[in-house]
């Protein structure tokens, strides 16, 4: 299903069933509606995003590479992730207003991300690597908002290297102990 979404931005029960070697009836025995199937694909994509983000933004990464290099590497990875998954995200985000399970999946991923980032930034503040004196949860939320902007068609273009570098500089400045 994600393969169809990645390549065309859409899927049908017939194409998913054919790809899985089953019948469309089997598809609908697993998913009540196409929105339910889209939710499953979106949840899988979000889980990968959350898990990979956590590993790329670990306390160890910040200690080994520093703030600027860790953030730059994260921005480049996230742009590639969003480039690959752009049609999955666009399809799912377009259905958010109408499908509560999609909204719930998105909110769960955001809350998990905020929790992970808050813990990481609090630890990094204690170590003097991230701006002290600012609420770690506020930094986490600002970081998440800024990184969501990387899922912009202009930012994910392969040739948008300077734009991503500027984003990374801004995010790094927000975290830097002395600020921008």
Residue 98: DSSP 8-state: G
pLDDT on residue 6: 86
> How many Cβ atoms are within 10 Å of 17's Cβ, its own excluded?
18
Average pLDDT over residues 25-41: 90
Tell me the CATH number of domain 34-175, given options 1.10.357.10, 1.20.120.530, 3.40.1160.10, 1.10.290.10. 1.10.357.10
- Reading the block at residue 4, the tokens are 């169809």
Would you say 114 and 144 are in contact if contact means Cβ atoms under 8 Å apart?
yes
The pLDDT tens digits for 42-60 are 999 999 999 999 999 999 9
What element of type H or E holds 141?
A: helix 136-148
Q: Count Cα neighbours of 155 within 13 Å in the Cβ-side half-sphere.
A: 21
Predicted local distance difference test score (pLDDT) of residue 179: 58
pLDDT digits over 154-178, tens only?
999 999 999 999 999 999 999 998 8
Give this prediction's pTM.
0.90
Range 130-141 average pLDDT: 94
Mean pLDDT across the stretch 110-125? 98
């Amino acid at each position: 299903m994600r393969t169809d979404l990645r390549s065309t931005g859409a899927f049908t029960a017939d194409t998913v069933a054919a790809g899985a070697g089953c019948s469309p009836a089997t598809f609908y025995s697993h998913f009540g509606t196409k929105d339910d199937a889209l939710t499953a694909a979106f949840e899988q994509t979000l889980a990968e995003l959350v898990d990979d983000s956590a590993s790329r933004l670990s306390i160890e990464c910040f200690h080994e590479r520093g703030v600027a290099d860790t953030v730059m590497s994260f921005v480049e990875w996230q742009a590639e992730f969003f480039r690959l998954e752009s049609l999955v995200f666009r399809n799912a985000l377009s259905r958010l207003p109408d499908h509560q399970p999609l909204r719930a999946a998105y909110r769960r991923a955001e809350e998990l991300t905020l929790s992970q980032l808050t813990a990481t930034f609090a630890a990094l503040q204690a170590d003097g690597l991230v701006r002290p004196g600012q609420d770690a949860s506020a930094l986490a939320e600002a970081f998440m908002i800024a990184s969501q902007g990387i899922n912009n068609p202009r930012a994910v273009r392969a040739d948008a290297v300077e734009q991503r570098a500027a984003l990374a500089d801004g995010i790094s400045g927000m975290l830097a102990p002395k600020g921008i």
